[in-house]
Amino acid sequence: MTRSLTLILFLALSACLAAQQQQMYTQFMYNKMALNPAYAGNEKYLSANILYRDQWSGFPGAPKAQVFTVSLPRLGKRVGLGVNFERQTIGITEKLTYELMYAYKFFLGEGTLSMGMNVSGRKYIQDYTDSRLFAIHGIELDPSIPATSQTRNLVNAGFGVYFNTNKFYLGASLPRMIRSDLDFDSNNIFSTEVRHLLLMTGGTFIVNNDFRLTPQMMFRAAENSPWGVDLNLTGTWKDKYSAGLTYRTGGARGDLGESLDFIIAAQITDRIMIGFAYDATISRIRAIDNGSLEMILSYNLIPRKIKTIIVNPRYF
């Protein structure tokens, strides 16, 4: 186990950290595969998530995201496969992402170490015909602004590790390792996709037979961008109903942080879970936005043959 944790820390420290392009999710604890390919096949059955995020609601052109992930049933005991589809918009820019994930499992005593990789394709679209664009003297008079939509297709790859026991998890990932050219003009190479480092960890503490507490953390860093941290504490009653509070760092100098995030979730049935999050902005942008809203729906296709009475519950 010591070797496994050392490997994870080495990956984190060896990443070259030097603009935040990776989508941020408040409910990262329910959406791990979209952030770390090593999570693919974490369960022996098919698991699917649908997530919607409306960031900085009320702010014109604010970011929005839709996500659909599917973790396929584990092949044998060790191989996990998954797919991830994401759509993100901000202003006149739209980004479509398609990812394939592969993970391999190593069983270490009471824990499992997964190592995974992803291959992704991305399509960037800039729509200069958007009716929200405005110029005092008319956009059509500026020869530097095209009167059409432009697209750019990219390919990238990522890597991740994920270690979990029944009551603890620790993961690290580099979702993009290639600095792909983002410029729509092939004669210029001024902007690229940058490397991101994501670290997540958490553990569950049993208070009594009905209630448990789960502190969790997500650390984000990207080249040429400030790092950020989400610190979360969630309480769960009867393994069905959860409520949590997250503090997110960030904002401008002098701000207390980026937001305080409120999360509630319910395990409706053995197969269906639904979660809601509201981010209350505490940075200075709160003067012009209405916070952020995020919703997630999870479905687990659990075969009847493995629906057994669980003596030692597994939370991660």
Confidence class for position 44, pLDDT limits 50, 70, 90: confident
Is residue 110 a part of any domain in this protein? yes
Is residue 165 a part of any domain in this protein? yes
Q: Residue 199 burial (CB < 10 Å; 0-12/13-18/19+)? A: buried
Which stretches does DSSP call E strand in the chain? 46-54, 64-71, 79-90, 93-108, 111-127, 149-164, 168-174, 196-203, 205-206, 211-222, 225-237, 241-248, 259-267, 272-281, 292-301
Is residue 22 a part of any domain in this protein? yes
Lowest mean pLDDT among 117-121, 194-198, 211-215, 250-254: 250-254
| The token pair that represents 229 in the structure block | 């941290």
**Domain of residue 295, residue span:** 2-306
pTM for this prediction: 0.86
Question: What's the rounded Cα separation, in Å, for the pair 141 and 137?
Answer: 7
CATH number for position 115 = 2.40.160.40
Report the pLDDT value the prediction gives residue 15, as an integer from 0 to 100.
37
Is residue 67 a part of any domain in this protein? yes
Question: What's the rounded Cα separation, in Å, for the pair 30 and 34?
Answer: 10
Look at residues 160, 100, 149 and name the one whose alpha carbon lies nearest to residue 127: 149
Look at residues 135, 59, 54, 62 and name the one whose alpha carbon lies nearest to residue 92: 62
Question: What's the rounded Cα separation, in Å, for the pair 27 and 258?
Answer: 16
Per-residue pLDDT for 310 more than 80? no
Report the pLDDT value the prediction gives residue 187, as an integer from 0 to 100.
61
Is residue 312 a part of any domain in this protein? no
Contacts 24+ apart (CB under 8 A), 216-220: 216/29, 218/28, 220/20, 220/22, 220/24, 220/196
Is residue 161 a part of any domain in this protein? yes
Report the pLDDT value the prediction gives residue 6, as an integer from 0 to 100.
41
Report the pLDDT value the prediction gives residue 275, as an integer from 0 to 100.
97
Is residue 314 a part of any domain in this protein? no
C-alpha distances (whole Å) from 258 to each of 24, 55, 201, 202, 284 are: 12, 12, 20, 21, 9
Phi, psi for 176 (deg, rounded to 5): -135, 125
Q: Which residues pair with 247 in a beta bridge?
A: 231, 260
Per-residue pLDDT for 21 more than 70? no
Look at residues 11, 3, 288 and name the one whose alpha carbon lies nearest to residue 177: 11
Confidence class for position 225, pLDDT limits 50, 70, 90: confident
How many structural domains comprise the chain? 1
Per-residue pLDDT for 255 more than 90? no
Is residue 201 a part of any domain in this protein? yes
**Top-confidence residue, 185 or 11:** 185
